[in-house]
């Protein structure tokens, strides 16, 4: 037991509300307002966790995001959040807290025996061993021992974090004295200020150090700041971590709310002031990782806010003035305090405090916790060692925003180089630790008018620089969580891992969940000393978001389940659903696959057979309806298409391809000519945006702004495709005009004041009508059509049936039957390539040596030579004898609803000149035989199109 609860102190806790929780199974009590860290400290629990590698006992060391040791799996109401930092977790009644990375409990961990082997497990030892029997032999054991907390497989946290955007005029990060002064000055000049504070309250160090500003208690200054921010229309967010600086002045913040889901803020301020404070440096002596060794400022923080006193016999090691008030406060609270100051010239000791000048701490000793401290070779009894080793400014966001750092010799820190980022850094983050200079700098950064706020009493903050001493005996820890010692740095230096990035990667220094807050400076300065370089020569590692670990749930936001890549929905979805449709996503659209219950393949075949026998109706609304208008419309289509459209007569339709400039088939579709200067291009449903992009490219690059415009009217129309021998009868029965349209023609008409566009276009090989109706009027229209359809013996059919119909007809689906090397002549479509003399997109690429090869993969049909049903799609074609080399593959396959039997489409090397050849089909080791046939199996002469 060393920590204890002071009977009176603790301004943040409510002693009337006792909260009960458990730690590694033991019952513990705390107060409302405690953090897990302060409650455990006050309870006297010393060992809070085990280190990553050696399973050394570890206690509470720091405050806020810097805490490396006290990391827990916290369960509340049956829900566990792994790896919670105790210093950042408010205590709640009923929490079950479990230390991570312990076999058993933090107090009793049999793996602690690993520490005995530490001589043989230096930094990077795993690069030098575990090779003999292969890494896989050892890996399962290593994996089990690694890792901190556990993922709870049965809990899916909800995707309930809102993403919110805001554009404050001034963003102030950190609400300590410098941040408050900056926010106040900016707000008073009328700016909308957003003040972001990571902890639950404003004030920073003022909260536990107190102080008077402009002659009154600092809280008066705080309240005036709040009032000014509110008056100017700004906002204050506490419990909010500003965790990332991104391109073009974007910042991200994670706001924690106790009564509602967290918020993911995306802030784009006009000005940003960084007042994130500084991290207290630990000190480097043997045994500095023992439970009971703690940061001095953290001890003061836990004392004043929570009444949690670090110990009863305390050695405070330092070389700076800032620690003296800490010693005074602890002494006043009832602890016996000795300051060991490395300097010979020091302030006076606070009342009751024993001061040893010119005294360095060499070691902390004890089994499982501090029992003694060794000061200049003399051992003193102590249960607690506090360290005040100076300060490291929190400059992460300045660096994330592109800023550079300079080494400030007098302040012994890397400080932001002004003007190198869009962020202005003030206060302790800029190594201005004193209250008056922090206030003044904050005030000035906002261009505050009048005198800056002034403290009544100035605290001393100067300190003598301390560095890790690589000659010290014993094990001196730098990175507590990842178990990196000074000796590990020496090993890295000896083996040549001297660049800071190599040091980090080789030793894992600074890569733990505390992100090296207390360790990076030590590692950097130790490496500088070992290699005879200065700190700026040694350099720093790159700072990247997040500033501290941020829940993935916050970054992911609401995008989950139905809101993850939401598919597009049909206007007629309700009607399809009512008819029993089973939906699936096709090219980003949710469409009926089949109707009814039962085996999908059987249903699809049945639907397709009805369509072949009488009529089928399917929803083709996702088909693109891109209108090209203007005197140069035909010219544009000629250039962007493989087939000329300028020769198309008004009222007619023509099938065409769009190529990319590399000659690859990008999309196919039908073009309708409604008027001399008016075309409609029906792109594939998944390619609409891409086709428009290609059309716009040609239009803007080649045609200028005059003569042709492109309008996407896909969403305006719903399109129903009626197909089958009875299609015309269905139309007649529905009272719709057929206009005697021949195959590949179009008419604009209306029925009952509903405008209609009826096109005789077939994707099935049967007489078909593609009827477009304004989407808003589609429901009633479809009902009327279905009524007539069913009276004629037809039915709705889903996409799976359409796939069977089009495949047996040899109609391709771009992207399924073609791939990224398919050119139009591979589909047997050679005429434009051979005859067109004008320019068109992709033309030149059709004439490379590769494009002219006779063994290119070409689209053909395949008929199985056996009676084992349809050939498997994805199967490969191999030569009838000899080596099993792939000559192509099956792209579409299934039963042939019209022709009977089964049919497949395939891309086969030189396939068009191999008709009738029997080849082998390889699928997952199985071999079948099939005969190469024309792609079109159903109605090869095309009589049914006009049937």
Q: Least distance (Å) from other proteins to the CB of residue 599?
A: 14
HEC readout, 237-256: ECCEEEEEEEHHHEEEEEEC
Instruction: Report the residue number, 716 or 847, with the smaller CB distance to other proteins.
Output: 847
26, 113, 151, 715: residue in contact with other proteins (rule CB under 8 A): 151
Instruction: Report the residue number, 560 or 914, with the smaller CB distance to other proteins.
Output: 560
Main-chain phi, psi angles of 487, to 5 degrees: -60, -35
CA distance 219 to 210: 9
Instruction: Report the residue number, 266 or 360, with the smaller CB distance to other proteins.
Output: 266
CA distance 92 to 107: 23
Site for other proteins in 627-646 (CB under 8 A): none
Distances (CA, A) of 495 to 121, 488, 507, 714, 763: 15, 11, 12, 65, 69
Residue 420's contacts (CB-CB under 8 Å, 6 or more residues apart) are: 398, 402, 403, 404
Q: Least distance (Å) from other proteins to the CB of residue 111?
A: 13
Q: Least distance (Å) from other proteins to the CB of residue 783?
A: 30
Spatial CA neighbour of 946 closest among 792, 768, 729, 721: 768
- Please compute Rg for the chain using Cα positions: 38
Q: Give me the half-sphere count of Cα atoms (radius 13 Å) on the Cβ side of residue 582.
A: 13
- Encoded tokens for 747: 């008419």
Instruction: Report the residue number, 134 or 740, with the smaller CB distance to other proteins.
Output: 134
- Encoded tokens for 729: 């009868």
DSSP state of 561: G
Instruction: Report the residue number, 872 or 934, with the smaller CB distance to other proteins.
Output: 872
Site for other proteins in 472-491 (CB under 8 A): 487, 491
- Structure-token match 């408010």, residue found: 90
Instruction: Report the residue number, 78 or 740, with the smaller CB distance to other proteins.
Output: 78
Instruction: Report the residue number, 584 or 743, with the smaller CB distance to other proteins.
Output: 584
CA distance 545 to 565: 25
Instruction: Report the residue number, 406 or 696, with the smaller CB distance to other proteins.
Output: 696
Site for other proteins in 451-470 (CB under 8 A): none
Site for other proteins in 760-819 (CB under 8 A): 815-816, 819
270, 646, 647, 700: residue in contact with other proteins (rule CB under 8 A): 700
Helix pair angle (177-188, 435-445), 10° resolution:
30
116, 597, 849, 941: residue in contact with other proteins (rule CB under 8 A): 849
Site for other proteins in 717-756 (CB under 8 A): none
Q: Least distance (Å) from other proteins to the CB of residue 396?
A: 13
Q: Least distance (Å) from other proteins to the CB of residue 377?
A: 22
389-425 as b/e, with b when 16 or more CB fall inside 10 Å?
A: bbbbbbbbbbbbbebebeeeeebbbbbbeeeebbbbb
CB under 8 A: which stretch of 210-218, 276-284, 308-316, 849-857 binds other proteins?
849-857
Distances (CA, A) of 830 to 200, 834, 852: 72, 6, 11
Q: What sign results for the dihedral spanned by CA atoms 794, 795, 798, 800?
A: negative
**Separation of CA 223 from chain center:** 38
What is the CB neighbour count within 10 angstroms for residue 35?
29
336, 495, 790, 939: residue in contact with other proteins (rule CB under 8 A): 495
Q: Least distance (Å) from other proteins to the CB of residue 294?
A: 23
Q: Least distance (Å) from other proteins to the CB of residue 33?
A: 24
Q: Least distance (Å) from other proteins to the CB of residue 623?
A: 18
18, 164, 216, 689: residue in contact with other proteins (rule CB under 8 A): 689
Q: Least distance (Å) from other proteins to the CB of residue 78?
A: 13
**Secondary structure (DSSP) of 197-231:** -SSSSS-TTHHHH--EETTEEHHHHHHHHHHHHHH
Distances (CA, A) of 612 to 305, 869, 902: 81, 20, 15
Instruction: Report the residue number, 246 or 716, with the smaller CB distance to other proteins.
Output: 246
Site for other proteins in 383-412 (CB under 8 A): 402
Are 383 and 365 within 8 A, CB to CB?
A: no
What is the CB neighbour count within 10 angstroms for residue 429?
30
Q: Which residues pair with 451 in a beta bridge?
A: none
- Encoded tokens for 292: 């009971």
Site for other proteins in 533-572 (CB under 8 A): 542, 544-546, 549-553, 555-557, 559-562, 564-565
- Structure-token match 């051979």, residue found: 834
Site for other proteins in 900-939 (CB under 8 A): 922-925
Are 808 and 764 within 8 A, CB to CB?
A: no
Instruction: Report the residue number, 376 or 585, with the smaller CB distance to other proteins.
Output: 585
CA distance 441 to 312: 39
Q: Least distance (Å) from other proteins to the CB of residue 541?
A: 11
CB under 8 A: which stretch of 1-9, 428-436, 696-704, 779-787 binds other proteins?
696-704
Site for other proteins in 224-253 (CB under 8 A): 244, 246-248, 250, 252
Q: Least distance (Å) from other proteins to the CB of residue 93?
A: 21
Instruction: Report the residue number, 81 or 754, with the smaller CB distance to other proteins.
Output: 81
DSSP state of 90: B
359 binds other proteins (CB under 8 A): no
What is the CB neighbour count within 10 angstroms for residue 784?
17
661 binds other proteins (CB under 8 A): yes
Q: Least distance (Å) from other proteins to the CB of residue 68?
A: 13
Instruction: Report the residue number, 155 or 407, with the smaller CB distance to other proteins.
Output: 155
Site for other proteins in 853-882 (CB under 8 A): 872-876, 878
Site for other proteins in 155-174 (CB under 8 A): 155-157, 159, 163
Main-chain phi, psi angles of 646, to 5 degrees: -65, -20
Site for other proteins in 54-113 (CB under 8 A): 80-83
Site size for other proteins (CB under 8 A): 121
Are 604 and 798 within 8 A, CB to CB?
A: yes
Instruction: Report the residue number, 460 or 551, with the smaller CB distance to other proteins.
Output: 551
Q: Least distance (Å) from other proteins to the CB of residue 565?
A: 7
Instruction: Report the residue number, 221 or 811, with the smaller CB distance to other proteins.
Output: 811
Quote the Cα angle for 268-270-274, to 5°. 85
CA distance 240 to 277: 15
221 sits in the region (left: phi over 0; alpha: psi -120 to 50; else beta) called alpha
Spatial CA neighbour of 717 closest among 692, 751, 680, 745: 680
Q: Least distance (Å) from other proteins to the CB of residue 905?
A: 12
Site for other proteins in 129-148 (CB under 8 A): 129-132, 134-136, 139, 142-144, 146-148
Instruction: Report the residue number, 740 or 820, with the smaller CB distance to other proteins.
Output: 820
- Structure-token match 């808003």, residue found: 776
716 binds other proteins (CB under 8 A): no
Site for other proteins in 18-37 (CB under 8 A): none
Spatial CA neighbour of 649 closest among 676, 622, 624: 676
Q: Least distance (Å) from other proteins to the CB of residue 524?
A: 15
SS3 617: strand
Binding track, positions 578-597, relative to other proteins; x by CB under 8 A: ------xx------------
Q: Least distance (Å) from other proteins to the CB of residue 248?
A: 5
Instruction: Report the residue number, 22 or 163, with the smaller CB distance to other proteins.
Output: 163
Q: Least distance (Å) from other proteins to the CB of residue 940?
A: 26
78, 496, 740, 943: residue in contact with other proteins (rule CB under 8 A): 496
Instruction: Report the residue number, 692 or 933, with the smaller CB distance to other proteins.
Output: 692
């Amino acid at each position: 037991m060393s920590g204890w609860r002071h009977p009176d102190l603790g301004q943040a806790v409510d002693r009337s509300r006792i909260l009960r929780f458990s730690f590694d199974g033991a019952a513990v009590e705390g107060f409302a307002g405690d953090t897990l860290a302060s409650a455990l400290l006050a309870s006297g629990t010393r060992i809070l966790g085990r280190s990553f590698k050696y399973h050394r006992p570890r206690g509470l060391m720091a405050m806020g995001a810097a805490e490396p040791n006290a990391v827990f799996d916290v369960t509340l109401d049956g829900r566990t959040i792994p790896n919670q930092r105790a210093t950042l977790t408010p205590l709640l009644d009923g929490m079950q807290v479990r230390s991570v990375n312990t076999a058993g409990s933090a107090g009793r961990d049999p793996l602690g025996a690993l520490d005995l082997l530490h001589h043989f497990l230096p930094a990077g030892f795993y690069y030098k061993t575990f090779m003999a029997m292969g890494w896989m032999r050892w890996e399962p054991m290593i994996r089990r021992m690694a890792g901190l907390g556990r993922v709870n497989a049965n809990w899916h946290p909800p995707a309930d974090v809102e993403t919110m955007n805001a554009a404050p005029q001034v963003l102030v990060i950190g609400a300590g004295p410098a941040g408050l002064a900056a926010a106040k000055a900016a707000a008073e000049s009328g700016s909308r200020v957003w003040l972001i504070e990571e902890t639950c309250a404003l004030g920073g160090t003022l909260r536990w150090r107190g102080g008077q500003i402009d002659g009154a208690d600092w809280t008066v200054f705080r309240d005036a700041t709040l009032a000014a921010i509110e008056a100017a229309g700004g906002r204050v967010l506490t419990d909010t971590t500003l965790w990332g600086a991104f391109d073009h002045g974007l910042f991200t913040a994670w706001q924690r709310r106790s009564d509602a889901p967290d918020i993911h803020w995306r802030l784009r301020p006009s000005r940003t002031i960084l007042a994130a404070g500084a991290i207290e440096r630990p000190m480097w002596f043997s045994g500095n990782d023992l439970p009971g060794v703690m940061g001095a400022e953290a001890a003061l923080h836990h004392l004043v806010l929570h009444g949690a006193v670090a110990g009863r016999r305390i050695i405070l090691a330092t070389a700076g003035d800032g620690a003296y008030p800490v010693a005074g406060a602890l002494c006043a609270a009832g602890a016996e305090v000795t300051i060991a100051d490395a300097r010979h010239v020091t302030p006076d000791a606070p009342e009751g405090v024993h001061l040893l000048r010119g005294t360095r701490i060499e070691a902390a000793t004890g089994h499982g916790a501090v029992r003694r401290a060794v000061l200049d070779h003399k051992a003193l009894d102590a249960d607690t060692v506090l360290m005040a080793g100076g300060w490291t400014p929190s400059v992460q966001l300045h660096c994330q925003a592109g800023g550079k750092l300079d080494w400030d010799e007098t302040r012994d820190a890397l400080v932001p180089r002004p003007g190198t980022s869009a962020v202005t850094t003030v206060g302790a983050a800029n190594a201005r630790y004193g209250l008056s200079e922090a206030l003044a700098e904050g005030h000035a950064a906002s261009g505050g008018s009048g005198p800056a706020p002034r403290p009544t009493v100035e605290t001393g903050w100067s300190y003598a620089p301390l560095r890790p001493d690589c000659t010290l005996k014993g094990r001196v820890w730098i990175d507590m969580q990842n178990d990196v010692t000074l000796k590990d740095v020496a090993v890295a230096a000896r083996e040549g891992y001297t660049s800071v990035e190599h040091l980090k990667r080789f030793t894992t220094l600074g890569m733990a969940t505390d992100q090296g807050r207390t360790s990076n400076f030590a590692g950097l300065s130790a490496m500088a000393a070992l290699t005879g370089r200065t700190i700026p020569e040694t350099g720093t590692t790159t700072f990247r978001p997040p500033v501290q670990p941020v829940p993935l749930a916050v970054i992911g936001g609401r995008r989950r389940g139905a809101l993850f890549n939401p598919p597009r929905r049909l206007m007629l979805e309700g009607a399809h659903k009512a008819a029993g449709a089973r939906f699936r996503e096709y090219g980003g659209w949710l469409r009926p696959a089949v109707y009814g219950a039962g085996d999908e393949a059987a249903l699809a075949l049945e639907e397709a057979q009805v369509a072949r026998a009488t009529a089928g109706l399917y929803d083709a609304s996702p088909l693109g309806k891109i209108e090209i208008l203007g005197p140069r419309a035909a010219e544009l289509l000629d250039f962007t298409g493989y087939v000329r459209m300028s020769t198309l007569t008004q009222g007619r339709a023509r099938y065409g391809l769009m190529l990319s400039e590399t000659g690859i088939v990008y999309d196919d579709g039908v073009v309708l000519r409604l008027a001399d200067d008016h075309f409609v291009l029906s792109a594939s449903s998944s390619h609409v945006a891409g086709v428009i992009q290609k059309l716009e490219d040609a239009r803007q690059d080649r045609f200028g702004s005059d003569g042709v415009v492109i309008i996407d009217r896909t969403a305006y129309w719903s399109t129903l495709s009626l197909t089958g021998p009875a299609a015309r009868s269905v139309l007649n029965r529905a009272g719709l005009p057929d206009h005697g349209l021949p195959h590949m023609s179009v008419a604009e008409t209306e029925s009952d004041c509903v405008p209609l566009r009826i096109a005789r276009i077939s994707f099935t090989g049967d007489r078909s009508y593609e009827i477009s109706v304004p989407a808003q009027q589609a429901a009633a229209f479809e009902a009327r059509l279905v009524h007539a359809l069913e009276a004629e013996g037809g039915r709705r059919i889903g996409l799976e049936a359409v796939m069977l119909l089009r495949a047996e007809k040899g109609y391709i689906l771009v992207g399924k039957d073609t791939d990224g090397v398919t050119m139009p002549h591979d589909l047997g479509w050679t005429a434009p390539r051979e005859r067109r003399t004008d320019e068109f997109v992709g033309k030149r690429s059709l004439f490379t040596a590769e494009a002219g090869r006779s063994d290119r993969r070409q689209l053909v049909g395949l008929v199985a030579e056996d009676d084992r049903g349809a050939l498997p799609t994805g199967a490969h074609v191999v030569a009838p004898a000899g080596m099993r080399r792939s000559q192509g593959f099956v792209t579409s396959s299934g039963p042939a609803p019209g022709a009977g039997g089964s049919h497949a489409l395939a891309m086969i090397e030189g396939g068009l000149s191999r008709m009738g050849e029997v080849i082998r089909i390889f699928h997952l080791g199985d071999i079948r035989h099939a005969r190469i046939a024309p792609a079109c199996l159903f109605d090869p002469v095309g009589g049914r199109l006009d049937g």
